[in-house]
Chain A
Amino acid sequence: MLRSRLALRPKGPIMVDRFARHPLQGKTMTDKTELNASHRELGARMVDFGGWDMPIAYGSQIEEHHAVRKDAGMFDVSHMTVVDLTGEKTRDFLRKLVANNVDKLAKPGKALYTCMLNEEGGVIDDLIVYFLREDFFRLVVNAATRAKDLAWIEKQAAAFGVSVRERPEFGMIAVQGPNARAKLIGLLPSDVQEKATKLGKFAAIEIEGPNGMPLFLARTGYTGEDGFEVVVPNSRVVELWNLLKDAGVAPAGLGARDTLRLEAGMNLYGQDMDETVSPWEAALAWTISLDDGRDFIGRTALEKHKADGVKRVMVGLVMDDKGVLRHGQKVLTANGDGEILSGGFAPTLGKSIAFARIPAGEPGDVRVDIRGREVPVRVVTFPFVRDGQPKAGI
């Protein structure tokens, strides 16, 4: 019965399809995180996500979404790749490697969202850079791009004498929602609670967690809510998960993570941008730092692309009619056709939203072709939802 050819197959659902075109998904073995048995005990529906056996939902994906918007939820994101860079010239190396400027990272612990580009200005991956010490920065990159990212980083690092070390011995739990910080802080030893409470947005600290477990606590996320992403040794990740669950943090799957980040206006690598797309065409201009004299990889191509005129733009769409915008649907505008990138049902809004890449210029009345029917949509600026609330005009 499935148009998408996937949902009723035991291992089929949507995440596989979304990442099917990813160049590095050729693995035959599926990796498992330390929490795999915990997910199965909770009755999770598991899917292959970029080569990892991950929970898409434990029960109702929509309820998991609302739990994060209204209270606190947690995601196993141990499939994401932690990479530590060490060496005296690490900052110089990152000035070259990434398109945002790591000189914005002045205080130890501060984090920066950035793209890593190829020489043509296409996006190899998006990642977060944490500044820990002048000779020690930490990267968190996407799971599906792990192998090519590591190869690229190592190749560029050689000239700077920077050591590149993947840290597979760490797991990661994202604890997100308006009550997420309080629930996690409540588990910490009393003498570090104040330090964790004072941690600013987009910053991280290394502290002692419950029962003496070492934590790398970052006030970052991928949901549009406040919260932490917590890096913890694999040997303690199940223990931390269970403590959070007992504290009332709801397990949430990658399905809810996807609808939350889409509402929050956050890009998904492989779907909203890839190596064939420039950041100008992916609503990522805010992450590009064309500061004086910094020769980062891809800069020449980016500047030329901008000077030549950017022909396509990424916009937000809202559909007030019933139905669901999906990846790959055709978008009709006054200047020609575009396509839906990330699209789906937005539980906070009760209607469908999407990112679309369309020809630049005034788009006129925009419609989306859904099974041969032209359905009107509104072009809006995103995020669609921030801090639990729909943005005005959405």
Chain B
Amino acid sequence: MSDIPGDLKFAKSHEWVRVEQDGTVTVGISDHAQAQLGDLVYVELPEVGSSVQAGNGTAVVESVKAASDIYSPLSGEVIAVNEELADAPETINSDAYGDGWIFKLKISDKSELDNLLTPDEYSELVENEDH
């Protein structure tokens, strides 16, 4: 598995978040998740302006194998979605932690960040899952 950038936090359901300088939050799925899903062929994005609750299905990714819910790791308002994914869902396969981001949030409860895993904790979770 590729190196995980140190500034990310993870949900157990395999989404990552990055807190940006301006306090907004970017969300995607982990490199492990994209590898398990296989080639992605479709992403259903949330609407900008919609409000989301931590743990609720917010987007859907479909690979050649299966459809999967993306749960928002945090509560807040969707302020941007990655429109590029509509024509190039495979960007998530090639750059899960960068150009493959899915949506951005203005979060409503910073304390929810404490519920998320560090890169080391997430790596451990994935390793335990693999056997």
B69, A62: Cβ atoms under 8 Å? no
A contact residues, total (Cβ < 8 Å): 28
Report chain B residues within 8 Å CB of A333: none
Chain A to chain B: the 5 pairs with minimum beta-carbon distance, closest first = A1-B13, A4-B66, A14-B65, A345-B41, A2-B68
A9-B129, A61-B39, A62-B39 known; A1 vs B29 contact (CB < 8 Å):
yes
- Nearest B residue (CB) for A259: B64
Residue B79 at the chain A interface, CB threshold 8 Å: no
Contacting pair B42 A57 (CB below 8 A): no
**A187: which B residues are within 8 A, CB to CB?**
none
A9 to B15, CA, bound (A): 15
Residue pair B64, A8 in contact (C-beta under 8 Å): no
Proximity string of chain A (324-349) to chain B, C-beta cutoff 8 Å, 1 when within and 0 when not: 10100000000000000000110100
Q: If A61-B38, A323-B44 touch, does A1 touch B64 (CB 8 Å cutoff)?
A: no
Sampled A-B contacts (8; CB under 8 Å) = A1-B69, A8-B33, A14-B65, A17-B66, A45-B38, A255-B65, A323-B42, A324-B67
Tell me which of B15, B29, B64 contacts A61 (CB under 8 A).
Answer: B64
User: In chain A between 288 and 330, which residues have their CB closer than 8 angstroms to a CB of chain B?
Assistant: 322-324, 326
State whether the Cβ of B131 lies closer than 8 Å to any Cβ in chain A: yes
Cβ < 8 Å to A, chain B residues 1-46: 13-15, 29, 32-33, 36-39, 41-42, 44
Question: How many angstroms from the CA of A326 to the CA of B67 in the assembled complex?
Answer: 9
| B129 adjacent to A8 (CB under 8 Å) | yes
A-B CB pair tally, cutoff 8 Å: 85
Chain B residues, Cβ within 8 Å of A9: 129
The residues of A that contact B29 with a CB separation of less than 8 Å are 1
Chain A residues in 8 Å Cβ range of B129: 8-10
Most central of A1, A10, A61 by chain B CB within 10 Å: A1
Shortest B78–chain A CB gap in Å is 17
Q: Across the interface, which residues of A come within 8 angstroms of B57, CB to CB?
A: 3
**B positions within 8 Å CB-CB of A:** 13-15, 29, 32-33, 36-39, 41-42, 44, 57, 60, 62-71, 86, 93, 129-131
Q: How far is it, in angstroms, between the C-alpha of A259 and the C-alpha of B38 when the chains are bound?
A: 13
Residues of B contacting A61 with CB < 8 Å?
38-39, 64-65
Q: Does chain B have a CB within 8 A of A247?
A: no
Nearest residue (CB) in A for B126 is: A8
Contact with A324, one of B32, B33, B62 (Cβ below 8 angstroms): B62
A345 touches B60 (CB 8 A): no
The verdict on A4 contacting B67 (CB below 8 Å), with A322-B86, A323-B44 known, is: yes
A199 within 8 A of B: no
A47 — nearest CB in chain B belongs to which residue? B65
- How distant is the Cα of A259 from the Cα of B65 in the complex, in angstroms? 10
Of the candidates A14, A45, A60, A322, which one forms a contact with B66 in the assembled complex, judged by CB atoms under 8 Å apart?
A14
Q: State in angstroms the CA–CA spacing of A266 and B15 once bound together.
A: 37
5 extra A-B contacts, CB within 8 A, seeds A4-B66, A7-B68, A14-B66: A1-B15, A1-B33, A6-B66, A10-B130, A345-B62
Q: How far is the CA of A14 from the CA of B65 in the complex (A)?
A: 6
| Nearest chain B residue, comparing its CB with the CB of A373 | B44
Q: Does A13 contact B (CB under 8 A)?
A: yes
Complex Cα gap A371–B14 (Å): 22
Residue among A1, A255, A323 making CB contact with B38, cutoff 8 Å: A255
Decide if A2 touches B69 in the complex (CB within 8 Å). yes
